[in-house]
Amino acid sequence: MKLNNVIMRTMTQMVFFIIFLFSIHIFLAGHFAPGGGFVGGLLMSCAIVLLLITFDLKTVQTLLPINYMTLTAIGLALALLTACISAFAGEAFFTHYFDYFTLPLLGKTELHTAMLFDTGVYLVVVGVTMIIIQSIGGDE
């Protein structure tokens, strides 16, 4: 059943981007404050679920043509490879590396391999959560 609720659709479009940006903020702040890939991934999943509540499944799949199985596999591979970098370098498993770089727009920035691991976790959480939600809520 499709409802034509203009207020709900308009608010969802605005709130989706607010939750999305907050998800990215929580993801990036996860190294120095509470947050990280898991919490950021859950927030992103909540934003997509809000789209699923407002619109139907086919509309959301048209708006976001993402294969969540592939997203989960990429995230898992990224997290696993990042964890193995130190093992290949002859150090303890999960040892992370960092250095300071000067980036054009950001200036002097500290970059971590832990950020790559968190990116993998973020992708896995979004992928698995959306697979579960779509399998529960799907009509097929």
Structural domain including 33 reads 6-137
Section 65-88 average pLDDT: 93
Q: Which residues contact 48 (CB under 8 A, 6 or more apart)?
A: 60, 64, 126, 130, 133
Residue 35 lies in a domain: yes
For 21-64, what is each residue's pLDDT tens digit?
Answer: 999 999 988 877 777 899 999 999 999 999 999 988 888 889 99
Residue 34 lies in a domain: yes
Percent of the chain past pLDDT 70, that is, above it, reads: 95
pLDDT of 9 above 80? yes
For 89-104, what is each residue's pLDDT tens digit?
Answer: 888 888 888 889 888 8
Residue 1 lies in a domain: no
Residue 48 lies in a domain: yes
For the chain, give the mean pLDDT. 89
Surface-to-core class of residue 80, CB atoms within 10 Å of its CB (0-12 exposed, 13-18 middle, 19+ buried): exposed
Residue 32 confidence (pLDDT): 72
pTM across the whole model: 0.87
pLDDT of 73 above 70? yes
Binning pLDDT at 50, 70 and 90, where does residue 139 land? Answer: low
Number of structural domains the chain divides into = 1
For the ranges 12-21, 26-35, 128-137, which has the lowest average pLDDT? 26-35
